[in-house]
Amino acid sequence: MHANDAHPAADTATFQTLIQSLPAGFEWGSATSAAQIEGAAREDGKGESIWDRFCAQPGRIKDASNIDVACDHYRRYPEDVKLMQWLGLEAYRFSFSWPRVRPQGRGAWNEAGFAFYDRLIDTLLEAGIRPNATLYHWDLPQALDESIGGLLSREVVPLFAEYAAEIARRFGDRLSTIATLNEPWCSATLGYETAQFAPGHTNRAEAYQVSHHLLMMHGAAIQAMRAVGPKAQLGIVLNHTPSFPADPLNEEDRRAARIDDGTNVRWYMDPVFRGQYPADIVEHLGADAPVIEAGDLALIQQPLDFLGVNFYTRSVLNGRQQFVTPPGELGFTDMGWEIYPQALTQHLLRISREYTPPPIYITENGMANADSVVDGRVPDAQRIAYLRGHLEALAQAVALGADVRGYFYWSLLDNFEWNSGYEKRFGLFHVDYATQQRLAKDSAHWYRDMIGAFKAARP
């Protein structure tokens, strides 16, 4: 299967640190999402999603690509599960496509869509890999955008809860975890304020109203799934980009960092874990703050079994709330994101202290790299360094008391990176999109060796 069995440099020092600091049973995984890998965009009755529509609009996607085929995972999932097995993964995080299983977002279910996830989940279980699902990784049924105004309408909340309950009924006893939402900040802010993501609006008030509806969708889905009583643990996945002032001694810079942290971290953590929005951000938003009705916050604050944290980088801000790029000791990824693993340690300790959350999983962490195939190999030393740095930072947080139970590398495969199209490569496996051939990058070998060493030392 793999022409290349050459191992990257042995990394015993890092492996030893991880083995010593992380608990036995720590789960090693990798993550993907439906829209980014499945393809089969119009097959077997799948409905259109807002991302199918967004891709069709000129200028939205950097390489003018779409998600019709993506990684053709819909057909190639058996091969992809074999890649996971080769890596030694214990867990895999994927997302359900809402329009694949309910094409209009309401009304009739699509049995052929459910059958795909049925096959995928059974194949994972047969391979000894625990399936971890996300219900909403940004691919809203386009029909709902048209019929009710999509995430702008409160009507989306009970529809999402129906979908969540149906998934819990059909798959809840075979899934290890079910996360309601992936990164609601991205759906709201990038989708409705900056127009980088579908549906591409530019209105801050809409973005915050949408964020409120997303959080209500989360709460209503948790309630609906609890009523079904699945074996799966239930939670949410949030993206955290810790904010730093450019000059820690400058009051304005500190304020800018606090606002950025408030809109990114606290805006989601506070309602989910404390049942309230941060007052300083409500004030900062002024007329753009969302309309909240009685009972909404109680709905949002549901007891959770786990918190998923997606961590990639940090933000550094000056007093004009501009993002200022620091020199970056470890450099930048191909996305232009600073590599700053120590923020992961600090951040995990901070949220553990401030929120006493349920057990945490790092549900995404990884880097885009300008990878290329050289003599049948993908020499991505930068990604190995990124992985090593972040896993050591994670181990340090655990050693200092953070309750982190697992790590999912983003991503298993190179895939459709939203508005960047296929130009940004995050995978452990390189994908040749012309042939759909997968090739283990050096980082995949490193991750595999590390997982093997960990399992041998902490069976």
In whole angstroms, give the CA distance from residue 451 to residue 128.
15
Catalytic status, residue 293: no
Q: Tell which one of 180, 211, 233, 239 touches ligand FCB (CB under 6 A).
A: 239
- Residue 336 Cβ vs ligand FCB, minimum distance, rounded to whole Å: 12
Q: Tell me phi and psi for residue 373, to 5 degrees.
A: -85, 125
Closest C-alpha to 60, from 69, 51, 68:
51
Cβ of 75: how many Cβ atoms within 10 Å?
A: 15
Coil, strand or helix at 97: coil
Residue 83 or 181: the one with the smaller Cβ distance to ligand FCB is: 181
Residues 6+ apart with CB under 8 A from 303: none
Residue 137 or 170: the one with the smaller Cβ distance to ligand FCB is: 137
Angle at 334 between CA 328 and CA 335, to 5 degrees: 85
Closest C-alpha to 192, from 265, 276, 288, 278:
288
Q: Tell which one of 183, 296, 371, 380 touches ligand FCB (CB under 6 A).
A: 183
401 to 440, contacts with ligand FCB by CB under 6 A?
410, 417-418, 426
| Cα Rg of the chain, angstroms | 21
| 36 in Cβ contact with 100 (< 8 Å) | no
Coil, strand or helix at 133: strand
Residue 180 or 310: the one with the smaller Cβ distance to ligand FCB is: 310
- Residue 364 Cβ vs ligand FCB, minimum distance, rounded to whole Å: 6
136 binds ligand FCB (CB under 6 A): no
- Residue 424 Cβ vs ligand FCB, minimum distance, rounded to whole Å: 8
Closest C-alpha to 261, from 248, 250, 276, 245:
245
Residue 176 or 411: the one with the smaller Cβ distance to ligand FCB is: 411
In whole angstroms, give the CA distance from residue 193 to residue 76.
36
33 binds ligand FCB (CB under 6 A): yes
- Among residues 90, 166, 183, 392, the one annotated as catalytic is 183
Which of the stretches 8-16, 161-169, 180-188, 271-279 binds ligand FCB when contact is defined by CB under 6 A? Answer: 180-188
The bridge status of strand 360-364 relative to strand 306-310 is parallel
Residue 186 or 228: the one with the smaller Cβ distance to ligand FCB is: 186
- Residue 236 Cβ vs ligand FCB, minimum distance, rounded to whole Å: 13
Q: Tell which one of 38, 80, 90, 364 touches ligand FCB (CB under 6 A).
A: 364
Catalytic status, residue 354: no
By annotation, the residues acting in catalysis are 183, 364
Which residues sit at the interface with ligand FCB, rule CB under 6 A?
Answer: 33, 36, 182-183, 186, 239, 310, 364, 410, 417-418, 426
